Amino acid sequence: MKSKMNLSPKKKIIISIGTFLINLGLLLAQPQNYNTDESTIALEGYSPISYIEEGKAQIGKKDFKAAYDGVTYFFVNQDQKKQFTSNPEKYIPQYGGWCAYAVSKGYKYRPDPKSFRVVEGKLYMFTINVEADFVKAWEKEGKDKHIAQGDKNWKNMEKFKSFNSN
């Protein structure tokens, strides 16, 4: 025999509100220190594997995507996706994908997805604009110095929802 659960309108409202609050809590608990917009797509859809393993910026495909820590990453093929899911921490960009030079100076700037460096297997992204090529400044001033300062700053920087800032 099938039993039907009859809930009063009041109980339905209470369950709906409870479900909403649980989902809101889960959303707010997501890490918000990544350089993404409301889509939560990392690296503007470029493959983190391509940067690190192939030394080039390659746009990923929607068919090959994986989520890690509330952020979605795209890959060029299924092999890259498997590689990422087996060890995502190896491939996520440093400083949440924010410009490494800016983080070393205490700021968060959105990088150009084609401007990057891989140092000791770690991915660092950079801003390029009409005023400066930040990767050139980072290298000229000493990448080791900037990495050390960036690491220190990143631990202390206020985390915020990236899509609320521009």
Contact 111/98 with Cβ under 8 angstroms?
A: yes
Shared-domain flag, residues 109 and 143: yes
pLDDT at site 156: 83
Which pLDDT score, from 0 to 100, does residue 137 have? 92
pLDDT at 20: 44
Measured in whole angstroms, the distance separating CA 52 from the mean position of its chain's CA atoms is 15
Please report whether residue 13 resides in a domain: no
Q: 128 in a domain, yes or no?
A: yes
**Other CB atoms within 10 A of residue 4 CB:** 4
Q: Is there a single domain that holds both residue 98 and residue 148?
A: yes
Residue 15 lies in a domain: no
Whether 114 and 148 map to the same domain: the answer is yes
Same domain, 50 and 77: yes
Query: Within 10 Å of residue 122's Cβ, how many Cβ atoms?
Result: 15
Residue 134 placed within a domain: yes
Q: Tell me, what DSSP letter sits at residue 51?
A: I
Q: Which amino acid makes up residue 3?
A: S
pLDDT at residue number 37: 72
105 & 146 share domain: yes
Structurally, the chain folds into a number of domains equal to: 2
Domain end, chosen from 52, 68, 90, is at 90
Among the residues of 100-142, which ranges form H helices?
Answer: 100-104, 134-141
Residue-number span of the structural domain to which 108 is assigned: 93-157
Residues 65 and 37 in one domain: yes
Give every residue of the chain whose pLDDT is below 70, as ranges: 1-5, 7, 9-32, 158-166
Are 80 and 47 in contact by the 8 Å Cβ rule? The answer is yes
Are both 100 and 148 inside the same structural domain? yes
Residue 1 in any domain: the answer is: no
